[in-house]
Chain A
Amino acid sequence: QQQVKQSPQSLIVQKGGISIINCAYENTAFDYFPWYQQFPGKGPALLIAIRPDVSEKKEGRFTISFNKSAKQFSLHIMDSQPGDSATYFCAASTGTYKYIFGTGTRLKVLA
């Protein structure tokens, strides 16, 4: 019940396309859902986060869509660029310090 299931494991997108990464959870007590971006050799960096009182949050080319009833949330990267090539992790928290991370999605954007 504490798991966060992330898909796909890897994703290849053409430059200018839309990248979509999905996460699903079971624990309805989760109330904070961040996405992290990790480049090789670097630690994860917070990209965007959402709380369940809104269904969508947009920051630049990055959008989180949140479906509370389906217990799913997704990251959309519009106009994907080669510089977006990285591993993306979703996470969930119950309002405590413990994040439960997904297993990651390796995104490659072709030039």
Chain B
Amino acid sequence: GAGVSQSPSNKVTEKGKDVELRCDPISGHTALYWYRQSLGQGLEFLIYFQGNSAPDKSGLPSDRFSAERTGGSVSTLTIQRTQQEDSAVYLCASSLEGGPSGGSYEQYFGPGTRLTVT
């Protein structure tokens, strides 16, 4: 079946502009995650959505970052007033459940959006 899809695959923007990154999770997956991957670094957790519960926003690096998940499916990560340090690959992942209650931990990742802020 279809995996996690993200768009755009590449985004170049000028410093100070706002950007929106989109994630379509695997159908039926209730949990959705956003990560940031900087060059040569591991994956940095940004935000987590699980069903209708309040999202865990504890990983968002500043108030310029926000995310929404509409209808329990598609998610949009918005970065306002972009800075050069925001340049990274933004990865989205989804899973059947977000915890160990008999469900799967496995997170399935999309291909990412490479964001370059000039």
Contacts and interface: CB of A to CB of B under 8 A. Distances in A.
Contacts, number: 61
Contact of A103 (B41, B56, B106, B112): B41
A-B pairs, top 10 by smallest CB distance, nearest first, are A43-B109, A97-B98, A101-B42, A101-B43, A103-B42, A95-B100, A44-B109, A43-B111, A43-B110, A46-B106
B50 A97 contact: yes
A87 to B, nearest CB: 10
Nearest to B95: A97
B112 A43 contact: yes
Interface in B17-73: 31, 33, 40-45, 48, 50, 56
A32 B98 CA distance: 13
A79 B107 CA distance: 27
A60 B43 CA distance: 26
A34 B108 CA distance: 12
Contacts of A99: 43, 45, 107
Contact of A96 (B41, B93, B99, B110): B99
Interface of B: 4, 31, 33, 40-45, 48, 50, 56, 91, 93, 95, 98-100, 105-112
Contact of B108 (A46, A91, A93, A95): A46
Given A34-B106, A43-B4, A44-B109, A98 B43 contact: no
A44 B107 CA distance: 9
Contact of B99 (A43, A45, A91, A97): A97
Contacts of B105: 32, 34, 49, 93, 97
Contacts of A44: 43, 91, 109
A101 B38 CA distance: 13
Nearest to B33: A97
Given A43-B111, A97-B33, A97-B56, 10 more contacts: A41-B111, A42-B111, A42-B112, A43-B91, A43-B109, A49-B105, A49-B106, A97-B95, A97-B99, A98-B48
